[in-house]
A and B are shown apart, each in its own frame.
Chain A
Amino acid sequence: MFGRYLMLRLLLAIPTIFCVAVIVFVLMRIVPGDPISMMIPPGASPDDIENLREIYGLNKPVLDQFLIWLNGIAEGDLGRSISLKLGVGQLILNRLPATLELVILSMGIAIFLAVTASVAAIRYKDTLVERVLDTFTGVAQAIPDFLWSLLLLLFFGVILPLFPITGRLDPSLSFDPITNFYFFEAIFTFRLDVVWDLLAHLALPSFALAFPLAASLSRVLRGSLSEAMSQDYITLAQVKGYSRLEVITKFALRNALIPTITLSGVQFAFLIGGTVLVEYIFSYPGLGNLAISAVVQRDLPLIQGLILTFAVMFVITNLLIDLSYALINPRLRGR
C-alpha cells in the first residue's frame, strides 16, 4: 500500500521534471548571449567559431539539441560544461553536498526559531513579549536573505570578527574526506575540530537564509496555533490540569503543524533560490555559486543540469512533506 503510493508519486514526478527541462532548455536558447562568444579569443575567425559550435553541437536545430540532451540524461550523462570542460554531472555532485548542508542547517534553524517564537507568542499572548516578537518577525521578514547576509557579515564577521566570512572549511586544517559530505564525514571520523570549523563557516550564511524563512513560517504557525487553542480538546487539556505552556506544546502544536509544513515545502523553493546569492556573497563552494558562474559564462549544459537538479530537489522535498502529513495526522493514514 505504502510502497505503491510512493511509486505513484515518483512516477508523477517525471512529467513535472520533464516540463522543467523543456522550459529551461527553450528559455536558455531564447535569451540573448552565446556561450561560444564568451570563450573565443579576440580575433578568432568565423571558421573557428563555426568549428566550436559544431564541437558543442550548437549548430544543430534546437529540437535535435534537446533530444541529444534528453538521450544523455536517460543514460545518466548531463553533458559537458563549456566553461569548465568537465562533466556536468560530476561538477554538480561535487558541489551538491555543500549546498545540502547549508540548506538543511538553514531549514533546521528556521523551524527552531519559528516554533520557539510562535509558542512564546501564544504563551505570552497580550503581553510585551508578544509585541516584541511581532516586531522581530516583521523585521526578519522585511529584510531579504541577501541583505541579512551583508548585515551579518558586517556585524559578526567584520566589526566583531566572530565567524569566518568566506569558504566552507579553513584550508589549514588537514582534512582529506572521501565524500563531499564534509559535515557527516567529520562527525563519523570524530574530527571535532573540522565539525566546529564547518559550523563556524556555515553560521552566517545559514542564519541569513533562516531569518526571513523563520518569520514567514512563524506567521503561519502562530495563526494555526491560536486557532487550535480555541478548540474543545484544548479546553479538555486545560481542565485536565495542564499548564498553558504544556497545553500549547503537547496539544496545540502538533495539530497546528500541518499548515506550517505545507508552507515549508513552498518555502523550500525560495530557500534554494536564496542559496544562489547567499553562497555567492560568502564565496561558499555550493551549487548556488556554481550557478552564478554558469550563468555569467552562458554555460548552457551546466545551467540546464543545475536547474534540473533544483527541480529534482524540490520534487523530493515535497514528496517528503506529503509523507510527513501521515506521520503527524492520523486521519490521513491508510488512504
Chain B
Amino acid sequence: MKNILEIRDLIVGIDSIPPTWILREANLSIGEGQIVGLVGESGAGKTMVSRVILGFTPEGSRVFGGEIHFCGSKISDLNRDSRPFLLGKEVTYIPQNPMTALNPVQRINDQMTDVLIRYLQLKPRDATKRAVSLLSEVQIHDPEKVLKLYPHQLSGGMRQRVLIAIAFACNPSLVIADEPTTALDVTVQKEILGLIKRMQSSHGTSMLFISHDLGVVSKICDVVNVMYGGQVLETQEADALFSAPSHVYTKALLSATPRYDRPGDLLEPVSDRLVTEMGKTILSWDKRAEACFYK
C-alpha cells in the first residue's frame, strides 16, 4: 500500500538554549484510504504532529532532524508556503470545537462555497448546488434552509456536520481530524463518528484521527499510534492493539480505560513507577539530543 504521508524520526523543538523538544524522533505513516489514529495524553505531541503537517507550528520552532514525505515529495521545513499540497483543497482539517470554529458573521453558504469557488473554480451558483449535496451527505435535513442560516442558529452537532462537509468539500487526499468529537456530548459523538467514517470511505480519503480517547479510536481507526513525550511508542492495527498491546505504556493505558465488553474488570491507574520510568527515558533522550545538536 502506498503511503500518503510519512514522518520519519522527526525531531522538532523550539529553538532556545537548551531547546524545548516537542517531537523526539516521532514516526508516523498514513496509508492511502486509511484512518490512522493518534492517541496520547495531553502534552504528548499529538496536536504538534498535525500542526507540522499543516504548517502551523509555534513561533521559533524548527526541524532538528528527520523527514516528512507527502505523496513522495519531501517537506524539509515547517514553512506553510513550502507545502507540496494545497492547504484547504488536498489537505483539510476538522477542528475540535464546532461552537467556535465557524465565522459568526458569515452565512453557512458563504463558508462552504468559498473553498469550492477558490479551488474547484465553480461558479457561485454551482458551488451552492454542491454545498446542498454535501450537506445532505452529512445528513442535514433541509440543506437549502441551513445554507441561509448563521452559525449561531445551528446546534453543536449541526455545526460539526457542516465542518465535516467543508473538510470533504474538495475531495481532499488527507483529512486531519483533531479531537473532532471531544466537545460533543456522547450521543452526538457516536453519530458524528459514524458520519466521519462514512464520509472517509465514500470519498476514499486518508485520515489522521487525533484523540485522547481510546474508546473513540478503537471504533473508527484502522491503525493506531500511541504517543508519549513526543515519541510514537507503538503502532499497531487497531484490533491487535486492543487485544495484544506490546508496549508497557499502552498496556497501562488500556487497563485504565473502562470497556463495555468486559464490564466486570477493575480499572488500574497508570502507576507512578511507570511514569517515572518513562520520564527518565525522555530525559536521557534529551541529553543525547543536546549533545548531538549543540556540541
Contact = CB atoms under 8 A, between A and B. Distances in A.
B101 A233 contact: yes
Contact of A331 (B97, B103, B152): B152
A232 B104 contact: no
Contacts of B89: 241
Contacts of B115: 240-241
Interface in B139-190: 150, 152, 163, 166
A233 B152 contact: no
A69 interface: no
Interface in A301-335: 328-331
Given A330-B150, A331-B150, A233 B87 contact: no
A255 B100 CA distance: 13
B56 A238 contact: yes
Interface string A247-269: 00001001100000000000000
A231 B101 CA distance: 8
B150 A231 contact: no
Contacts of A235: 56, 95, 101
Nearest to B163: A236
Given A239-B54, A240-B114, A255 B104 contact: yes
A255 B152 CA distance: 14
Interface string B258-280: 00000000000000000000000
A238 B54 CA distance: 10
Given A235-B95, A236-B93, A241 B88 contact: yes
Interface string A212-233: 0000000000000000000111
Contacts of B103: 233, 236-237, 251, 255
A26 B26 CA distance: 79
Nearest to A333: B150
Nearest to B119: A241
A242 B163 CA distance: 17
B27 interface: no
A168 to B, nearest CB: 40
Contacts of A236: 93, 95, 101-103, 163
A231 B86 contact: no
Given A241-B118, A330-B150, A233 B102 contact: yes
A331 B154 CA distance: 12
A247 B150 CA distance: 19
B97 A232 contact: yes
A253 B67 CA distance: 38
Contact of B104 (A233, A238, A240, A242): A233
B105 A239 contact: no
Contacts of A238: 56
A47 B43 CA distance: 93
A80 to B, nearest CB: 51
Contacts of A237: 103
B92 interface: yes
B88 A330 contact: no
Most buried by B among A231, A232, A251, A328: A232
Contact of B105 (A232, A240, A242, A330): A330
Contacts of B163: 236
B88 A239 contact: yes
Contacts of A239: 54, 56, 87-88, 92-93
B87 A232 contact: no
Contacts of B105: 254-255, 328-330
Given A255-B105, A331-B150, A241 B87 contact: yes
A240 B103 CA distance: 13
Nearest to A251: B103
Contacts of A254: 105
A255 to B, nearest CB: 6
Contacts of A331: 104, 150, 152
Interface string B225-238: 00000000000000
A328 B88 CA distance: 27
A232 B101 contact: yes
B192 to A, nearest CB: 17
A166 to B, nearest CB: 45
A240 B101 CA distance: 12
Interface string B73-98: 00000000000001111001101010
A276 B152 CA distance: 45
B64 to A, nearest CB: 24
Contacts of A330: 104-105, 107, 150, 152
Contacts of A232: 95, 97, 100-101
Contacts of A251: 103
A95 B17 CA distance: 68
Interface in A63-78: none
A242 B119 CA distance: 11
Interface of A: 231-233, 235-242, 251, 254-255, 328-331
7 contacts: A232-B100, A232-B101, A236-B102, A240-B92, A255-B105, A328-B105, A331-B152
Interface of B: 54, 56, 86-89, 92-93, 95, 97, 100-105, 107, 114-115, 118-119, 150, 152, 163, 166
Given A233-B102, A241-B86, 19 more contacts: A232-B101, A233-B100, A233-B101, A236-B95, A236-B101, A236-B163, A239-B56, A239-B92, A241-B87, A241-B88, A241-B118, A241-B119, A254-B105, A255-B103, A255-B104, A330-B105, A330-B150, A331-B104, A331-B150
Those 3 A-B pairs whose CB atoms lie nearest each other, nearest first:
A241-B88, A240-B88, A232-B100
